[in-house]
Every structure is written in C-alpha cells, then in structure tokens.
A = this chain, B = another copy of it.
C-alpha cells in the first residue's frame, strides 16, 4: 500500500463528512430539528442490527448494513428528495436518478479503484432493490421515517398532507416487500393519524 492509496481513502472519508449537512424532511423523534442524512444512515444501520430477525431467510445483515452506510452519500451532490414532496413525483424521477448516478461517479470515484468498484456495486444493488439484501435495506429506509413521524406527532404526514392511500402506495408497499410484519405493525400504529 502506498501513501497515495491512504490519501484517496481519506479524501473520500473527508468528503463523506458533508452528508452530515444534508437535511431531510423528517425530524428527530422529539421534533426538535430536521434529521440529517449522516445520522439517518447510522440509525438505519442500527435498525438493521436490531431488526435482523425480520429479514427473510438468506439475507446477509452485514451486507445490508454496508448498503445502508453508503446509500445516501449521493445526496451530498443531489440533496435529499423527500418521498412525499411534489405530490410524490420527485423522489424517483428520471432527473433525480440521473443526478444521483453522476454523484455516485464523482463521490465513489474519490476512492482507490477496488473500493470504488465494491462500494458502487453495493449502491447499485441498493438502488435496484431486487436482491433480498437490498429489499430488506429499502424496507428499513422506509420504516424509520414512519417511526419518527409516530414519535413526533405526525411529522411529514402533516407537512405534506399525506393520505392513507398515499402512505400505503409510497411507503407501505416498499416496507412490505422486504419486511411484511414490520409494515403490519407500524401501519396499525399510524392509522390514528389518517382518520
């Protein structure tokens, strides 16, 4: 290993620090301030560790945790696109996805080639949401803001005037794909906000 390699590793880690300044629509559980995407990524990794028994058989929790640690780094360039913003149309728009691809090129491109390729492959897998590991990771990414909204008294459901139908479509279907019991459990507790 040369010093060049370490310099590239630290260039990536220093750049990653900026994710702590990307703000999300969701607040902390106590409602005191918006959550940032760095601490959100930590919380999700802790979700994976704590709720591993909710994953379908064969899911590799260590890979899920790695995906969740990396999944939001592209927001350093693109920002967080709230799932309920623009009436639900902005989050997975072609424009957003294209910008995220460019961000992934730049940010993972700071790394030595072997790490660039392995991190990028994990991020691509998460984005595609097709493997069992990625599906479970996506479920956790959707369920954590639901818990924050439940704790903070409605949160983004109120901000964006979300209906139960929209919650089922935009959030519930994604949670149910990778962790069906989690969706049953949190939906029951969310119902009171949509009467």
A contact residues vs B (CB 8 Å cutoff): 1, 3, 6, 9-10, 12-14, 16-18, 20-21, 28-30, 32, 35-36, 38-39, 41-43, 45-47, 49-51, 53, 62, 65-66, 69-70, 111, 115, 119, 144, 147-148, 151, 181-182, 185
Of all chain B residues, the one with the shortest Cβ separation from A41 is B42
6 pairs of residues in contact across A and B, judged by CB atoms under 8 Å? A6-B181, A16-B43, A20-B43, A38-B39, A39-B39, A45-B65
**Given A115-B50, A151-B14, A185-B6, are A38 and B43 also a contact pair (CB < 8 Å)?**
yes
Out of B9, B17, B30, which one reaches A50, CB within 8 Å? B9
Give A182 to B6 CA distance when docked, in angstroms.
Answer: 8
Q: Is the CB of B148 within 8 A of A17?
A: yes
Task: Give this chain's copy count.
Answer: 2
Give, as a whole number of angstroms, the nearest-CB distance from A123 to chain B.
12
> Which listed residue, B17, B147, B148, B185, touches A29 by the CB 8 Å rule?
B17
A23 vs B151: C-alpha distance in the bound complex, in angstroms?
22
- Known: A45-B45, A62-B62. Is A14-B39 also a contact (CB below 8 A)? no
Give, as a whole number of angstroms, the nearest-CB distance from A60 to chain B: 10
Q: Inside 8 A of A21's CB, which chain B residues have their CB?
A: 28, 30, 32
Bound Cα distance from A163 to B17, whole angstroms: 26
CB pair A66 B49 closer than 8 Å = yes
Q: Assess whether A69 is in contact with B45, with CB atoms less than 8 Å apart.
A: yes
Measured CB to CB, the closest approach of chain B to A69, in angstroms, equals: 5
